[in-house]
Amino acid sequence: MTNDFAADVLICGAGAAGLTLAIDLARRGVSFRLIEKLDDPFRGSRGKGIQPRTQEVFEDLGILDRIVAVGGVYPKQREYADDGSFTDADVVEAEPATPAEPYHLPLMVPQFLTERVLRERLTELGHAPEFGYELLGFTQDDGAVTARIATKAGEETVRVGWLVGADGGRSFVRRVLDIGFPGKTLGVRAIVADVMLSGLSRDVWHRFGEGDMRRQISACPLAGTDLFQLQGPIPLEGEVDLSATGLTALLRERTGRDDLLVHSVSWASAFHMNARLADRYRVGRVFLVGDAAHTHPPTGGQGLNTSVQDSYNLGWKLGAVLHGAPGALLDTYETERRPVAQAMLGLATGLLDAMKRGEMRRGRDVHQLDIGYSESSLAVEAPERHGILLAGDRAPDARVRGAAGQSRRLFDLFRGSHWTLLTYGDASMGTRPGLRVHAIDQHGDLADDAGEFRAAYGVAAGDRVLVRPDGYVGAIVSVDDDAVLDAYFLQVGIVGRVDG
Ligand SMILES: Cc1cc2nc3c(=O)[nH]c(=O)nc-3n(C[C@H](O)[C@H](O)[C@H](O)COP(=O)(O)OP(=O)(O)OC[C@H]3O[C@@H](n4cnc5c(N)ncnc54)[C@H](O)[C@@H]3O)c2cc1C
């Protein structure tokens, strides 16, 4: 795109949301700057749960194996009774993986390691966050955003096409836009601290205090590190000592064990739990992603995951519009993602209430595999479907066989920045720039030998399934409804049909 911009997109904040968006824009060839006011990367473990749907996103971004390698899975939870006896239980109710859902187990990866892997991926793509750069202010008109940035060398002013506020729960961008952030404080204040600790084994997540909010405390061995993450509610008011001495005293008081010793603290925070949702996710050329748009209690491990998936939804749409798609495509970011955050806030606060009653269980609803956009204007069916898979649903994985004989996964075919059209039975289609067409048919490039594709997608001969760049089903149409597909292509900027 030719313009006088310093970059097409300015991303404010290099946390999980900003880094994910940067990777997605980088692989689409979109010019951007990613600024971060901190001088160094964030050091805390706080968002340590990587849910199955985010694992799929990370697979697409090319980092899943690295994420697994630096982290691990959740150990069992050990609940101590006041008499010192204990019972062990699984943290998550996990079912075995299936061909359609290859990841069912939440991973435990300290947030600073997740962000490190994201930065490494960004480096591979030729980009890096600009640390020590703080957004000071911005204005926008019809054609651009003008932003003021503080740097070590002084202040600079840049003109960009779009600004994305990925600047966390206290979002400066949200405040400048004067977007309401209604919700509630949940009447819970807690500490979270990454510590070196002796006296506890590293094979289980230790939980003390019998679920009583006044005296519970937990110590979770952080996968990929020698650290434990301490977490526990604290009184709503008053000073809290987050030094090694202070945390040792708190731990001993709540466990009744004087063999426990905190040696050092690498990061610690005391925070009030809130559940809040931004009234709008977009004003003109400025968007909010991640915690800037929604904050929530940590119960259920949803925040970082929702933040990553906000960016994953916005990235391809920004890329498409910058490459000529109709601007209205960007409106679907808020209409698709805000309801997801609303539901997630209900889930996380419900789990907090359950935790207060001492009975929290994390089931399938925290995995985020059932999130979809069936109400979106980007979900199209012709004719209307009543089957197992609807337009807007997450596109399942399946194992198929390539015509050359090798086994392939649909997720291998989806990986990258393109759209994918799967035709089933004898429905051949011409291709277009940005679209990959696969014919699943005895004479096609793929064969559904084991019937996994048909079982997961519920298709009939002649059906075409259009899969979005973010792995959701955009359209399912029958062989007689090519015109519907043509209209859809125009809506999302897939133009220039090339018949094979
Ligand atoms: C105790 C605790 C446990 C949690 N556990 C989980 C969990 O298990 N799973 C989960 O999914 N989530 C969890 N979360 C939530 C998770 O940490 C957040 O949802 C996640 O960090 C949001 O990412 P983000 O990129 O939107 O924001 P942030 O990580 O807050 O990043 C925003 C960045 O923007 C920068 N910034 C701010 N203003 C400016 C400016 N003006 N200019 C430039 N840069 C700026 C900040 O310095 C920061 O680096 C937990 C949170 C807490 C507190």
Total number of residues shown for the chain: 500
pLDDT at residue 1, as a whole number: 43
pLDDT digits (tens, 9 = 90+) for 103-135: 999 999 999 999 999 999 999 999 999 999 999
- What is the whole-number distance in angstroms between the Cα of residue 291 and the centre of ligand 1? 6
Question: Is the pLDDT at 350 greater than 80, yes or no?
Answer: no
Atom of ligand 1 minimally distant from the CA of 306 = 11
Taking CA atoms only, the protein residue closest to ligand 1 atom 31 is 15
Taking CA atoms only, the protein residue closest to ligand 1 atom 13 is 47
CA dihedral sign of residues 35, 414, 308, 47 = negative
- What is the whole-number distance in angstroms between the Cα of residue 74 and the centre of ligand 1? 21
Q: What is the pTM of this model?
A: 0.96
- CB proximity list for 457: less than 8 A, separation 6 or greater: 388, 389, 396, 398, 422, 424, 463, 465
Residue by residue, DSSP assigns 101-141 as ----S-EE--HHHHHHHHHHHHHHTT---EET-EEEEEEE-
pLDDT at residue 354, as a whole number: 76
- As for ligand 1, residues whose beta carbon falls within 6 Å of it are 12-18, 35-38, 42, 46-49, 111, 134-135, 166-168, 172, 192, 271, 290-291, 298, 301-305, 307
pLDDT digits (tens, 9 = 90+) for 353-403: 777 676 656 678 889 999 999 999 999 999 999 878 999 999 999 999 999
Question: Is the pLDDT at 187 greater than 50, yes or no?
Answer: yes
- What is the whole-number distance in angstroms between the Cα of residue 129 and the centre of ligand 1? 15
Pocket test for ligand 1, best of 10, 19, 33, 37 (most atoms within 8 A of CB): 37
- What is the whole-number distance in angstroms between the Cα of residue 295 and the centre of ligand 1? 9
pLDDT band at 3; cut points 50, 70, 90: low
Using alpha carbons, list the distances in angstroms from residue 100 to 223, 233, 362, 370, 410.
27, 39, 21, 12, 9
Helices 303-322 and 16-27: angle between axes, nearest 10 degrees: 30
Edge-to-edge strands, sheet with 76-80: 86-89, 76-80, 204-208, 217-221, 228-234, 183-198, 261-277, 294-295
- What is the whole-number distance in angstroms between the Cα of residue 168 and the centre of ligand 1? 5
Pairwise CA distance, residues 194 & 220, whole Å: 9
Atom of ligand 1 minimally distant from the CA of 133 = 43
Pocket test for ligand 1, best of 46, 220, 347 (most atoms within 8 A of CB): 46
Q: Which residue has the tokens 């779009």?
A: 162
Pocket test for ligand 1, best of 304, 365, 367, 368 (most atoms within 8 A of CB): 304
Taking CA atoms only, the protein residue closest to ligand 1 atom 17 is 47
Pairwise CA distance, residues 288 & 279, whole Å: 11
pLDDT band at 337; cut points 50, 70, 90: very high
Atom of ligand 1 minimally distant from the CA of 291 = 26
Burial class (CB in 10 A: 0-12, 13-18, 19+), 201: exposed
- b vs e for 144-168, b when ≥16 Cβ sit within 10 Å of the residue's Cβ? bbebebbeeeeeeebbbbbbbbbbb
Alpha-carbon torsion angle 329, 324, 14, 66, nearest 10: 90
Pairwise CA distance, residues 402 & 348, whole Å: 42
Question: Is the pLDDT at 67 greater than 60, yes or no?
Answer: yes
Taking CA atoms only, the protein residue closest to ligand 1 atom 29 is 15
Bridge-based pairing of strands 130-131 and 32-36 is parallel
For 330, which DSSP code?
G
Using alpha carbons, list the distances in angstroms from residue 138 to 173, 176, 238.
8, 8, 37
Question: Is the pLDDT at 500 greater than 70, yes or no?
Answer: no
pLDDT digits (tens, 9 = 90+) for 273-316: 989 999 999 999 999 999 999 998 887 778 999 999 999 999 99
Question: Is the pLDDT at 241 greater than 60, yes or no?
Answer: yes
pLDDT at residue 213, as a whole number: 83
pLDDT at residue 398, as a whole number: 98
pLDDT at residue 311, as a whole number: 98
Pocket test for ligand 1, best of 73, 291, 309 (most atoms within 8 A of CB): 291
Could you tell me how many helices (H) and strands (E) the chain has, helices first?
A: 11, 27
pLDDT digits (tens, 9 = 90+) for 456-475: 999 999 999 999 999 999 99
- CB proximity list for 195: less than 8 A, separation 6 or greater: 227, 228, 229, 230, 244, 247, 262, 263, 264, 265, 266, 268
- What is the whole-number distance in angstroms between the Cα of residue 11 and the centre of ligand 1? 14
